[in-house]
């Protein structure tokens, strides 16, 4: 099982549901240098993601592979988590996962029962790390108290229009990773005036500036979705861009706060 440090930029695969495109984009991303691939049972693309990993000229142990169990895709009872994990392994055609998340803390999520399954999978040796997704601080702290294994990550929507300073501070204080999905605000952050201006000044893309802002704090990685070669390369190189304190402050002053991913029962309601 790989024990890799997460790079600042990984590959998200949400809505990458055309099997051929998904396979090729995952393969190409890995061969370009991506080492963190994120999927989920709910995305219905694990088979294609696994095929892309298998087709790439990089060994499985050099790739950090994450998936998620969903309360409405398979359920979050103890048995459902175990069966969902097994199904993910089968679809991905791999023998282990580096990280498994609880996709949403809704439905039949029960901290004691659900997280006991995660602990047992880690103990079994086929799961490297435990993650949660769309959890607020109270739910994260509850999970940390229940788990025997350390909490590795909380995956949340985070971008300049939704900075999540409270979760960022909590992740840094408690030494787990904050994984930012939709880090470009589904494209909406790219038109923000400060981001546009800094992109012109630096002669880089607005996406690069946005991702550099997202991944600037310690303990944060981003998993933007991309399929075309140009976007894959641009996003990956954003991990090398370092913004100045002044540039970060200009982006912090971006007007407007907006969430682009939501569902009934989410902890922020």
pLDDT value of residue 141: 98
Residue 252, domain member (yes or no): no
Mean pLDDT across 178-195: 96
- The candidate with the shortest Cα–Cα distance to 153, out of 140, 166, 142, 163, is 140
**Would you name the residues annotated as active-site residues?**
43
Residue 68 lies in a domain: yes
pLDDT (0 to 100) of residue 231: 96
Residue 87 lies in domain: 11-186+208-241
Is pLDDT at 78 greater than 90 in this prediction? yes
Q: What is the pLDDT of residue 269?
A: 73
Q: Is residue 213 part of a domain?
A: yes
State the pLDDT at residue 1.
55
Please say whether the beta carbons of 61 and 95 come within 8 A: no
Whether 9 shows a pLDDT value over 60: the answer reads yes
Report if residue 196 sits inside a domain: no
CB 167 within 8 A of CB 156: yes
Give the single-character DSSP code of 186: G
Per-residue pLDDT, averaged over 70-85, amounts to 95
Residue 5 has pLDDT above 90, yes or no: no
> 218 pLDDT band (50/70/90 cuts)?
confident
Q: What is the mean pLDDT of residues 11-24?
A: 97
Q: Is pLDDT at 74 greater than 90 in this prediction?
A: no
Whether residue 122 lies inside any domain: the answer is yes
- Looking at residue 257, its pLDDT comes to 76
The residue among 71, 79, 146 whose CA lies nearest residue 115 is 146
pLDDT given for residue 73 in this prediction: 84
Q: What average pLDDT score do residues 50-70 get?
A: 97
Q: How confident is the model at residue 59 (pLDDT cuts 50, 70, 90)?
A: very high
Q: What percent of the chain has pLDDT over 90?
A: 92
Whether 261 is covered by a domain: the verdict is: no
Instruction: Kindly report the CATH number assigned to the domain that includes residue 142.
Output: 3.20.20.100
In a domain, 36, yes or no: yes
| 32, part of any domain | yes
Query: How much is the pLDDT for 107?
Result: 95
Taking alpha carbons only, the member of 247, 251, 154, 140 closest to residue 193 is 251
Q: What predicted TM-score, i.e. pTM, was given to this entire model? A: 0.96
- Rounded alpha-carbon distances, angstroms, from residue 182 to 32, 71, 202: 21, 21, 23
- Mean pLDDT of all residues in 92-107: 98
Identify the pLDDT of residue 113: 98
- Note the pLDDT of residue 52: 98
Specify the number of domains making up the chain: 1
């Amino acid at each position: 099982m790989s024990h890799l440090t997460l790079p600042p930029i990984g590959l998200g695969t949400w809505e990458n549901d055309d099997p051929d495109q998904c396979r090729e984009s995952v393969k190409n991303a890995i061969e370009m240098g991506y080492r963190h691939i994120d999927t989920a049972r709910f995305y219905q693309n694990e088979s294609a993601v696994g095929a892309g990993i298998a087709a790439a000229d990089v060994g499985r142990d050099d790739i950090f592979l994450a998936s998620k169990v969903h309360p409405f895709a398979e359920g979050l009872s103890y048995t459902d988590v175990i069966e969902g994990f097994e199904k993910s392994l089968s679809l991905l055609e791999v023998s282990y996962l580096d990280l498994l998340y609880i996709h949403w803390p809704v439905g039949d999520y029960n901290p004691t029962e659900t997280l006991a399954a995660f602990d047992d999978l880690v103990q079994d040796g086929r799961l490297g790390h435990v993650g949660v997704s769309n959890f607020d601080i109270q739910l994260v702290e509850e999970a940390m108290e229940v788990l025997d294994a350390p909490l590795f990550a909380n995956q949340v929507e985070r971008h300049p229009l939704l900075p999540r300073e409270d979760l960022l501070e909590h992740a840094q204080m408690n030494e787990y990773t904050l994984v930012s999905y939709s880090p470009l605000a589904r494209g909406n952050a790219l038109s923000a005036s400060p981001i546009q201006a800094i992109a012109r000044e630096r002669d880089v893309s607005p996406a690069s500036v946005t991702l550099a802002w997202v991944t600037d704090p310690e303990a944060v990685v981003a998993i933007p979705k991309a399929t075309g070669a140009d976007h894959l390369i641009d996003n990956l190189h954003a991990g090398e861009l370092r913004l100045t304190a002044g540039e970060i402050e200009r982006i912090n002053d971006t007007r407007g706060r907006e969430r682009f991913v939501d569902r009934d029962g989410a902890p922020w309601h």
